[in-house]
Amino acid sequence: MTLEYVKQMYSKFVSTLGESNYNRELYRADWMHLIRSQAFANLWTKAFKAYDEGLMVVRAMGTDELHVIGDWRAVFPEGRGVTEVKVKDVYTVGTDQDQPTQALQSPS
């Protein structure tokens, strides 16, 4: 329970860090850029790994969302851990019904 609480508080802190009405007194541009830069780097590392393993990367969004075509479970473990991913959405791109695109999200 404590781990889930800390994860939720960290997620809220990161999402409101910077020029936000919620954390005005915590405005530290250096923290905001460091944390967000690391999140972007983590996402693009996952995208590169997916591409290297033969998945088609359709889109990378924000700091935690990767859209891929293929068997992503052979590349990434599913779950809520730091190195794991979870399914956010499944949709079809084009006319190939056999290969749906899956939106994966890094845990927050």
Residue type, 40: F
Q: Give the separation between CA 85 and CA 106, rounded to whole angstroms.
A: 5
pLDDT recorded at residue 26: 66
Ranges of residues in the chain with a pLDDT under 70 are 14-27, 94-98, 103-108
pLDDT recorded at residue 52: 96
Q: Give the separation between CA 16 and CA 13, rounded to whole angstroms.
A: 5
| Residues forming beta bridges with residue 67, ordered by sequence position | 59, 103
DSSP state of 78: B
pLDDT recorded at residue 49: 94
Q: Dump pLDDT digits (tens) for 27-54.
A: 677 777 888 888 888 889 999 999 999 9
pLDDT recorded at residue 91: 81
Looking at the chain, the whole-number percentage of residues with pLDDT higher than 70 is 76
Is the Cβ–Cβ distance between 36 and 42 less than 8 Å? no
Is the Cβ–Cβ distance between 51 and 43 less than 8 Å? no
Q: Does the reported pTM lie above 0.85?
A: no
What is the three-class DSSP state of 102?
strand
Q: Give the separation between CA 93 and CA 67, rounded to whole angstroms.
A: 11
